Chain A
Amino acid sequence: MVNDSRRGVVTGLGVLSSIGSDLETFWQGLLAGKSGIKRIGLFDPSELPCQIAGEMTDFDAKNFLEKKDRKQLRVMARTIQLAVACAQSAINNSKVDKSAINLTRFGVIFGAGMVAMELPETADAAAVCQMPERGKIDLKLWGTKGLEVIQPLWMLRYLPNMLACQVSILHDAQGPNNTITQDDVAGLLALGEALRIMRRDHADLLMVGGAESRVNPLSMTRQSLFLPLSTHNADPSKALRPFDSGRTGLVLGEGSGILLVEEIGHAKKRGAEIYAEVNGFGAAFNGTDQADAIERSIRIAMAQAGVSVDDVDHVNASGMGTEKEDRFEARGIAAAFKGSKDPIEVTTIKAHVGHLGGSSATVELASVALSLRHGVVPATLNYNSPDASCPVRVISGSPRPLRKPFVVKTSFTSAGQCAAAVLRRHDV
């Protein structure tokens, strides 16, 4: 049923992260075991229980864009700026000549979360309408005086689809355009969808990406209420510890990851450099036992790719760094690889960059593509005392060479939305 003749390959990458805002620095940071997690400097976090994050302290989108494109940045929240900056990097990296491709077959599929409001933008309106009683705003005043002091395009700075739309506008990408909002798994679902779109012959080239800044006072305040965030503020780079029994909780971050996914014939015709092939994808849900959905996602992706358990070098895991999720993920992976000759090995880059929400999966996918390109697997950081309830072998200490041609990527949400993809080394 799948049109197998239309195979997808990765022909361009862009990454913005707290360990590097260009591919080379990011990759060297992963190999060197660098952590971008530090005390928050973008705002004063002292009233938050978690005061650390994978922050990109010096990010300035202007440095990435051509001069003519910079004035659009005014209508973009930081998250959207991350997306457009990273998209420019990915396009540059792919060396695609936009004048030589059919732009109606150039799509953009993104993962995105809630775009956090920048509080000062409505502060004047709020101040005019604040009532003495706590939690009360005078709506009659808001409808008149409040509206007068908010920028006319205010709402467009925060619509989740503006990442993919602004990117499509900057690059004249007129093909299928979608924004998937499934939190940590959004970017991996976006990859699966892009693959389907390419196979059904509605596009030849797609930007698959995600961007999110969670280092925002509103975001951090809200998420501090319902996420098990680490309070290990004294030693930020050691706080996030996937699969380690000394876990301290989640650490948020910001960044963007974008992959150019291209039909292989199209890529070869233009002489593109190929990082990796994308061979299979699977997704599943389980609201109570995520291990089941992770296992099924992996099995579906591997069956689609025609790969056996012994062909897979390792799994690039989500590695949330919370007890329940780590155990679910490890059990799901172990079950999917039951019967393999050697126990399956797992690595994760979460501890390097943090939880990036809508951009987690694509930043991690970029690391997978780089692994397959360079033949090296980054080690998991902060893995010192294995959690015995996580039945997988974690790659730690130092990077190791890639030994087999396939890598499986898993991502999921704690709500039970899971996905997996199979990527392959491209042999020239």
Chain B
Amino acid sequence: MSRKYQRRIVITGMGVVTPLGDDIDTMFKALLEGRSGVGPIRNFDASTFPTNFAAEVHGFQLSSWIKDCSRWEHSGINSKFAAAAAKQALANSGLIEGMNSGKVDRNRFGVYLGSGEGIHDFHNLMWETANSYDPSTRKFDYAKFCKGGRESFHVGSEADQELHTTAMHLAAYFGLNGPNFNCLTACAASSQAIGEAMDLIRIGDCDMVLAGGSHSMIHPLGVTGFNLLTALSTNKANPQGASRPFDKERDGFVLGEGAGMLVLEELEHAKKRGANILAELTGYFSTADAFRVTDSHPEGRGAIACIDGALKDAGVTPSQIGYVNAHGTSTQVNDRVESLAVKHVFGEAAKHVPVSSIKSMMGHLIAAAGAVELITCVEAMRTGWLPPTINYEHPDPECDLDYIPNKARQSKALHCLSNSFGFGGQNTSLVVSAFTG
């Protein structure tokens, strides 16, 4: 690996909340076992929706992570998932105690999240909408809506829907007084947040950044929106078989929810405080397809430039990559274009590189997906085990890579690539490497 940056960035803490467990060990064990976290939607009555299943987080209580969680009383679930994952990551990094005793400079400890939007108060919003509307004349009475909304909306939960609140809560609660960012680039958001967080450390603005994302779109308007776009699988007959990335019979993605958080730290800073170094974050790149809001560029121009850029940023060649954690959503277009892009950049090395999509097991965590997938790469390097793509049954001639079908595989990876591609043509790739000193 070339060393073009003076400041190297390592991962010293990680935390997750996912449909397959709300700690890293439980989640990773489930991934290696090839378990599906998909089931009937319980968050709301979705029984008549075209898609009535998802990978949900069940039994989550923020109070099991944070004793005094009063500041999250009116927060949406995004913000609560983020807080629990952040607490794990900071504790894992040995920081909860350290920060209290003033061992790290809070002013150089930033937050960069790719955390999803707040969730509208669906029932009140739509009831007041209906109450202000006359379908026969199609006239909308705005004054009536304003009056009704002011009566029925809850002040605290409305305030906490605003897009800057998740990162604010984490910074305020944990005392992280450096730069505070949140980006929202659809399904690429938390990967992009991690990449930009790395840059904040590289250029010297921060020594540490809490980076990651959180999201749930398993709510009436979320499922409505994705169903209308026909992006979700409607395989009601076999929900656990619905997310089948790279399989010829794939018919859309399955929604998941959760959060992934990482503590990124400048190498010398980590060494000095004796932190446990889990991996080194070595490469990042982001591009735009600039093509269409709904579809990826058919020849994958944005994805190709993105993967290529991230490998160059890391100073690694395709043949050095031991595992690709694919975006692999299980939609026809994504999986075809992503396979195409990997083949284009990897050339001959594409024939040998193992690729898998954990979305086959935990669904698509949207803004949070990239962070959880990067954490999966780190665990894969640490344990020497690569998670499979489950539900892989029918090979697709256009998707002809080694997708680690159905069974985890023992394989030592030293460098991993993690891809995240989002609606609107957002592409982000990260390279994470085993820390070798």
Contacts and interface: CB of A to CB of B under 8 A. Distances in A.
A117 B118 CA distance: 13
Contact of A180 (B44, B110, B155, B183): B183
A174 B65 CA distance: 41
B48 A161 contact: no
Interface in B169-183: 171-172, 176-183
B143 interface: yes
A178 B126 contact: no
A123 B423 contact: no
A197 B287 CA distance: 12
* Interface size, A (range): 35 or more
B344 to A, nearest CB: 15
A372 B127 CA distance: 51
A202 interface: yes
A417 B180 contact: yes
A222 B172 CA distance: 24
A189 B123 CA distance: 35
A159 B183 contact: no
A348 B270 CA distance: 42
A114 B164 CA distance: 10
A363 interface: no
A258 to B, nearest CB: 16
Interface stretch (B131-139, B244-252, B253-261, B314-322): B131-139
Which residue, B46, B120, B225, has most C-beta atoms of chain A within 10 A? B225
A225 B168 contact: no
Given A168-B425, A179-B184, A136 B127 contact: yes
A222 B229 contact: no
Contacts of B159: 225-226
B319 to A, nearest CB: 24
A152 B229 contact: yes
A139 B146 CA distance: 23
A321 B230 CA distance: 46
A285 to B, nearest CB: 4
A183 B163 contact: yes
B203 A200 contact: yes
Interface in A320-351: none
Which residue, A147, A160, A172, A177, has most C-beta atoms of chain B within 10 A? A177
Interface residues of B, number: 101
Contacts of A193: 181, 196
A126 B129 contact: yes
A371 to B, nearest CB: 26
Contacts of B147: 47
B133 A126 contact: yes
Q: Is the interface of B mostly helix, strand, loop or mixed?
A: mixed
Contacts of B391: none
B205 A300 contact: yes
A192 B112 CA distance: 13
A177 B287 contact: yes
Contacts of A378: none
Given A129-B130, A166-B293, A174 B302 contact: yes
B165 interface: yes
A143 interface: yes
B220 interface: yes
Given A147-B224, A154-B228, A137 B126 contact: yes
Contact of A137 (B123, B182, B290): B123
A249 interface: no
Interface in A1-23: 1-2
A169 interface: yes
A144 B46 CA distance: 10
A416 interface: yes
B287 A176 contact: yes
Contacts of A318: none
B210 to A, nearest CB: 11
Contacts of A199: 203
A426 interface: no
Interface in B85-132: 107, 110-111, 117-118, 120, 122-127, 129-132
Contacts of B205: 282-283, 300
A178 B47 contact: no
A119 interface: yes
B180 A285 contact: yes
A43 B142 CA distance: 6
Contacts of B202: 1, 200
Interface in B248-303: 285-294, 301-302
Contact of A285 (B7, B178, B186): B178
Given A47-B150, A140-B48, A174-B301, A126 B180 contact: no
A225 B183 contact: no
Contacts of B227: 147
Nearest to A142: B220
A187 to B, nearest CB: 13
B164 to A, nearest CB: 4
A134 B309 CA distance: 54
Interface in A123-137: 123-127, 129-131, 134-137
A66 interface: no
8 contacts: A117-B120, A142-B48, A160-B184, A168-B290, A178-B192, A199-B203, A217-B142, A413-B164
The 9 residue pairs across chains A and B that have the minimum distance between CB atoms = A155-B225, A165-B424, A287-B172, A143-B48, A181-B163, A283-B179, A130-B130, A226-B159, A177-B288
Interface of B: 6-7, 44-50, 52, 107, 110-111, 117-118, 120, 122-127, 129-133, 135, 138, 140-147, 149-150, 152-153, 155-156, 158-159, 161-165, 167-168, 171-172, 176-186, 192, 196, 199-200, 202-205, 220-221, 224-230, 285-294, 301-302, 305, 309, 422-426
Given A221-B145, A416-B171, 4 more contacts: A135-B123, A165-B425, A197-B199, A416-B168
